[in-house]
Amino acid sequence: MTEKIQELKVSPHFFLRRLHSLSGVVPIGAFLLEHMFTNSFILKGAQVYNEKIEFLMSIPFLPVLEIGLIGLPILYHAFYGFYIMFTGKSNLSSYPHRENWLYMAQRWTGMLTFIYICYHVYHTRIVHILYGTEVSYARMATLMHDPRIFWFYLIGLAAAMFHFTNGVWGFLISWGITVGPKSQKISGFICTLTGLWLYFVGASALIHLVK
């Protein structure tokens, strides 16, 4: 009986890792898709994009939703990801396989994505709270006309899209949804196409702001 109880014991890190993996898909991944959908309206021009932003800004209890459903999950996902990154041991030199390269890329793009998100949040939300600076098409266009910011956004966006879609691929494996090599290959193909499409949409919006 004691042996069976010991077998049922699971390390707390198992649940924390599962929560870390899940948070990357819901709610963070869902918010990312919504954010990319909203940003795609930049391609329709200033008036259409500003209308979408005004609608989002008018949502009741928006600060509570932003903190509870977006901010806190991102902080947990980021800092537990840093914990995994700095406490884990890399075996890339011993086993330079594709999965190990993807694992390392996931960790480093996670760090870059976090920096990118912090910078973006500052220029779109914090300056609005502190100084009343509007969140608008004109505001984003002004930022993108600085070549340093423009290229930082392009690189940060690439890191975010890779981290998200590669994370979804890993999520499907770790949660037992894609268990065989064939299903993992198919999901990898779908995730790659999704990441490329999302990056194309986001990069097109950034370029449109410059033009």
Q: What pTM did the predictor assign?
A: 0.90
Per-10-residue mean pLDDT for the chain, 211 residues long? 50 89 96 97 97 95 94 97 83 60 92 97 91 92 97 98 97 94 95 98 97 84
Q: What pLDDT is attached to residue 132?
A: 87
Placement of tokens 């998100």 in the chain: 117
Is there a contact between 124 and 135 (Cβ–Cβ < 8 Å)? yes
